Every structure is written in structure tokens, then in C-alpha cells.
Structure 1
Amino acid sequence: MALKLTTYYKGSDIPDLPGNNFFHSKELFLLYEATPSYTPIYIVATEEQKTLAKILVVIRKNTSLIPFSILNRCDVYGTGEYLDDTIDKETLFGEMLSHFTKEIFREASIIEFRNLNNSLFGYKHFRSNHYFPVNWLRVHNSLHSVKSVDERFTASRIRQIKKGLKNGAEVYEAQNKAEIQAFTKVMRRIYSARIRRYFPGFEFFEHIDSTLLSAKIGKIFVVRYKDKIIGGSVLIFSEDTAYLWFSGGMRKTYASLYPGVLSVWAAMQYAHENKYRHLEFMDVGLPFRKHGYRDFVLQFGGKQSSSRRWFRVRWKWLNKVLCKIYV
């Protein structure tokens, strides 16, 4: 029987599927579906009613008036999840890639593949579908080879953690929706100051609270001083890796409390205590640009590794120019 590709647009239509990759799961689809400005699309490959692979893509509508931010984007984390070791994964990926690329451009102007575990995977299929690569960096901490996460921190980072706690800051898992809403407001202000850094609305984190936390797929940590939330972080789990998806703090207003440092420290402590082998920091920036967040997280003992992201834009003439520049 021939390969069958099924596209799902509603979470209620998606059957229960095998797999343990969060970034290509039904849970993440439902999270996106519940959040305004997100449109998830799920492609599932089957043969003789056996699920072979699945890939989740999401279209994100930007409402910012910053140039180029008004363009709808399609984001894909990784290159899908493959559930049969006997299949040719790259060939199957090529089938799925061709299947959804044209359809995506009905609503999105840019497609971006990020967080690739193998930067060479699918190279010929990306190129045959007119994608172009951009060199990128990833930062991760190995948690399985240390007795405590603090052992890899710089001395200044350890002093900041101790000082923040001594000065009255508290850091813990969010306890209720009121704390999550306060965390969302703080983080939105922090991210809005970073041009082109997108931060989703309260519904996104409310769904994490109602669905992902109970399923032990995610955690939200908050940093509190007296009666005010001043920072926090979001940690997501997929297979043996914890991903720090969002983090930040009101570092200018509460400089002596180091809320950004405490939010990362709490996430790393939790990941280490729960036996995750790695913690990866999301979105640490281009390799040839000075990046404040990347410099910040490297002081927690992280290691840099080279990777790439694949892009394609809707306009053929512009895409050809970009292909000539980057390929």
C-alpha cells in the first residue's frame, strides 16, 4: 500500500498517536490551537494504518508594527518524529516537506526550521524544495555528568544567586492562574523591549498550566519579591532533554535580586533533580552577532555547538537571491 499523508487542522480530529517528542505531539498542537494568533497544522504519515512519522508546524500571526514583523511566519521545531527505524527517514521527510510547503504559503510568508539535532539531515530535500540554510548556534548544558548544577557556574553567577535569595527573592513553581497571569504580564514587557522577540499571550501559558503541567510535560517557575512577580521561566520536556523556552526578569528595577538569574537557576535545578540528561536554551542567536542572552546563559556552564536553520520565503525572486547568498 502506498504512503498516505494526512493533514489535521483541528485537535479534535487527531487520534491518539505513538511517540514521545513534545515538539511534534498532539499536546503541543492543542496548546497552539488554544492560543490566539497561532494556527497549528499536523501532518501524519501512515502505511497500512501504521503510523510512520509525524510533523507539527505552526503559523504565527504577528500584529507588531515593526517592519517585517507583520508577516505571518511558519515555525517548525526539528524535522519531525519517526516511529519506524526500518524506514528511510530522509526520503519520508522529503515527502512531508513537499506536501506542506506549498500549502503553508497560502497563509505564511516565511517558513523556518529550527532546533535541528542533525544539521545535515534532509539537506538534499531542503534544497530541492528551494530552502536556504543560515548558520546558527545552540547552547546546552550536560546535566548527567555533574553532581550539582552549580559546579559549572561561574563564581560571579553563584554570588548573584546567593545574593538574590539573601535579599528576599523567592523562586518556585507557579501555584495558580493568578501567578501565571502576573508572570505573563512581566515577561511580555521584558520581551517587547527586544525587537522581533515574540512572546505569546496568557492563553498559551494558561494551557500549559491546565494540560502540560498535569501531564508532566512542562513547568512554569516564578520569581517573587514580597507580593510581586518579577521574573520567571518556562521549562518544557521532550525525551531526555529539558528545554528552557522562555526566561527573564525585571533586572533593571530589581537589580540586587537578579530575577533573570534565579529563573534560569530554578529551571536547571529542577531538570537536574529529575534526571534529564541535557538542558537546552532556546533562541540563543546568530553565530556572527553579539548576543546578550547567549552571553548570559553561557555563564551557567553551557556549551555552544554549531547548527543551522532552514528558511524559505514566499516570493520566488527574493528566495532565489537568498539562496544564492547562503547556499
Structure 2
Amino acid sequence: MKIQHYISQQQLAETPLAGRFAAFIQGHPQGNFFQSPEFFGFSDGLQEYRPALFLALSDSDELLGSLLAVVQTNGSGLKSWFSRRMIVWGGPLISDNGGADKKEIAKRLVSELIAFAQGRSIYIEFRNFFDTSDLRDVFESCGLAYKPHLNYLVTTDEEVAVKKRMSSSRMRQIKSSVKQGAEIGEANSEAEVMAFYHILEKLYREKVRKPLPTPELFLKFWKSGLGKFFVIRQESRVIGGIVCPVHANKVIYEWYVCGEDGLAQGLHPSVLATWAPIEYGVQNGFDHFDFMGAGRPDQDYGVREFKARFGGEEVSFGRYEMVVNKSLYRVGKIGLKVYQSIK
């Protein structure tokens, strides 16, 4: 077995593996947007993203597995240096074909990723999209620690069934928001994308209190056609929205969401924004809507209750974490606390 790695879409495109990788992700039962060639290409060229793709090949060049990671940073200079983290959403993906050793393939991919991360990232985090309990010993043998982490998956079958699973309060908030003149639409200009961004930026500054990617990511996603960029309008003014990547017309994700709640009684743009991709999934035959995280079960997380009321299935696929550079990690954590205290 051998591992090939690529750090740009162009580098991969120049090989025969490009088409095979696309087919592998499309056909894999756990294939997802954040492990796809589309996300690899989207990440490539973003100022604050540096993708790295690892492909496991047999001696006869059969594609056995893939792992796509992104080194994320925020800002420039020292801020960028101390914010470097390697994030993996929904990977690795291992082939079930043939007699290949699934654990050995996973171990080689994860080991290559860790080696690549040295000097490039301060810590590594795998955010699982599916049950990886059969590979937990592989991750732990590579030095990663498992952390419980919740999520909600909303089945998007029949609209009547979807609404029945939702809490009655959510349905009332959707109806009252529409009654107040709020409408769901798609962003139709850069100005609307930026109006959404300013609301999101305020949310991150005042409540989330973590760094937010620059507008570049949101403008590029809006132009990319890789998903849906819903906005909530009231009297032509953007008061909320949600960024939703799509995979294979079967899964739609919540990546970033916000709303100017509290503008008027009965107006709930955050609720309407969250309902937008669920409704879209129902109307277009999708399998489910993925909230992409609901916090750790042992920690209070107010957003969890908000998400739970949309009637999704609570799952706990967890995360795997590893500190690559402990001294820089400590400095980075101090920096984040300072950032949170002054915002």
C-alpha cells in the first residue's frame, strides 16, 4: 500500500486519480461534501484555508481510501500563526471492496496526515459525520483522543412527517415570522451576501466569541454553486440567512447561520433560516439535513436546545483531537481568551 498526497486541485487534476477520486466519494455510503473533490477545489485558493488530500492506493493502484483535511487560520501575522489548526470533517473514508484491511488503511492515512501536520498546524481535530467506533483504536494508537460530541440529523421525508416531528413552538415561530412579512429566498447579489455576513459577524463577536472567516469564503461559496445560500428578507432587507453545502442531492448541511432575532414580536429569522434547508430538502427528495454539531454532552450549550426542537435524531459520533505543538497551543488558547475578553 502507498499513500499519495496533494495540496492543490491542479496537482490532482494532472493525474489519472482525479476522476477515480470523484467516483469513489460519489459511490461511498459515507461520502460527504467535506471529503469531496468539490470541497478540495473550493478550499484551494482561499486565504485562510490550506487543503491537504491523502489517497491510499493498493500495489495495483486500486483506490482504497481517502482523507481530506484543511489547515485553517485567521487573520495575518502572529494571529494567523497561532490560530493554525487542521480540521477533518467526515473522514477518513475507507473502501469496503476486496480483502483490504480497513484498519490498516485508516492507520496509514491518519499517520500520513499527522506527519504532514508537523510544523503546519498546532492541533488536529476530526469531526465525525458517522459512527467510527470500529476505528477508535486506530485513532487512539496514532495519539488522538476521543471526545464525545453531539449532533442532530433531520430526516427530510414527507413534509407532514417532518413538521410533526418538530416542536409546536418551532412551527408557531415559522408561521408568525411569515405573518410578520419575513420571506425565505436565495442571496441574489454580493450586497446580500455581505448583509448576511455583517449579521453573522455581530453574532460571532457578541455571542459565539470565536474568530470568523473573512467574507472571501462566503462570497466564493455564493458564486460556486456548491450549495444553497438562503437569506431571510423582510421588506427587501436581509435579516438572517444560512450557508448550506450540498452533497449528491441527498444531504444538505448547516455551515453558518444567523438571524437578527428580537427585531419585532413574532419575528424569528434564525428559526426561519434553519427551516429553509429542511424545507428545501423535503421538496427536492433529500435524505437529511445535518446540523454539523450540537456541542459536548457534558457542557451547557444553549444552541443545542434550539436545534433539538427541529425534530432531528440526536447522534453522538464524537471527535478525535490531538495537540501537535503543546507550547504554541497554550499560547493560542491564551490568545483566544484575550480575544473573547475584549470583544
Output the TM-score relative to the length of structure 2. 0.83
Structure 1: distance between partners of 2:271 and 2:207:
18
1:247 aligns with 257
Q: CA deviation at 1:235?
A: 1.7
1:233 shift after superposition? 0.8
User: Whole-Å Cα distance in 2 between the matches of residues 223 and 135 of structure 1?
Assistant: 33
Cα distance in 2 between the residues matched to 1:207 and 1:27: 13
**Match of residue 310 from structure 1:** 320
Q: Which residue of 2 aligns with 1:229?
A: 238
How far residue 318 of structure 1 moved from its aligned partner, in angstroms, is 11
- Give the whole-Å Cα distance in 2 for the aligned partners of 1:255 and 1:247: 21
Give the match's secondary structure for 2:87. strand
Q: Deviations over 1:222-242 (max 9, x none)?
A: 011223211101222235322
Pairwise CA distance, 1:77:
0.9
* Equivalent residue number for residue 6 of structure 1: 4
8 Å contact from structure 1 (residues 38, 61) kept in 2: yes
Question: Greater shift after overlay, 248-257 or 166-175?
Answer: 248-257
SS of the equivalent of 1:296 reads: helix
5 Å matches for 1:76-155? Answer: 76-83=88-95, 85-86=97-98, 87-144=100-157, 147-155=160-168
* Count of aligned pairs: 312
Native 8 Å contact 1:116 1:309 kept in 2: no
Query: 1:161 Cα deviation (Å)?
Result: 1.0
- Partner in structure 2 of residue 257 of structure 1: 267
Unmatched tracts of structure 1, length 5 or more:
320-327
Higher mean C-alpha displacement, 172-181 vs 51-60: 172-181
Instruction: Note if 1:199 corresponds to 2:212.
Output: yes
Q: Are 1:5 and 1:43, in contact at CA under 8 Å, matched by a contact in 2? A: yes
Q: Which runs of 5+ in 2 are unaligned?
A: 330-343
For the 8 Å contact 2:229–2:244, the answer to whether it is kept is yes
Distance 1:246-1:8 versus aligned 2 partners, 3 A rule: same
What are the Cα deviations for residues 17-57 of structure 1, in whole angstroms up to 9, with x where unaligned? 32223211121122222322111111112233332221110
The alpha carbon displacement at 1:317 in A equals 9.4
**Higher helix proportion:** 2
1:42 aligns with 2:40: no
Residue 284 of structure 1: how far off its partner (Å): 1.2
Structure 2 Cα separation of the partners of residues 273 and 69 of structure 1 = 44
Deviation for aligned residue 1:270: 0.2
Contact 1:34–1:203 (8 Å) recurs in 2? no
Q: Structure 1, residues 195-234: CA drift from partner, whole Å, max 9, x if none? A: 45443222212222232x2xxx411100112232111012
| 1:231–1:259 CA contact under 8 A, matched in 2 | yes
1:247-300, CA deviations, whole angstroms, 9 ceiling, x for partnerless residues?
120113455321100001111100111111221211211111221111101111
Question: Per the alignment, in what secondary structure is the counterpart of residue 91 of structure 1?
Answer: helix
Q: Which of 78-87 and 120-129 deviates more?
A: 78-87
Q: Secondary structure at the match of 1:121?
A: helix
Q: Deviations 1:101-135 (Å, cap 9, x if unpaired)?
A: 02203111110011241131322221111111111
> What is the distance in 2 between the residues matched to 1:153 and 1:69?
43
- SS across alignment from 1:307: coil
More strand, by proportion: 1
Call closer, same or farther: CA 1:46–1:304 in 2, change over 3 Å.
Answer: same
Q: State which drifts further: 267-276 or 117-126.
A: 117-126
1:166 aligns with 2:179: yes
TM-score (norm 1): 0.87
Out of 52, 55, 63, which is 1:51 matched to?
A: 63
Which 10-residue stretch deviates more, 190-199 or 167-176?
Answer: 190-199
CA distance in structure 2 between the aligned counterparts of 1:194 and 1:282, rounded to whole angstroms: 18
Q: 3-state SS of the aligned residue for 2:253? A: strand
Counterpart contact for 2:150–2:295, Cα < 8 Å: yes
Given residue 309 of structure 1, which amino acid in structure 2 is its aligned partner? R
Is the aligned partner of 1:292 residue 2:302? Answer: yes
RMSD after superposition: 2.6
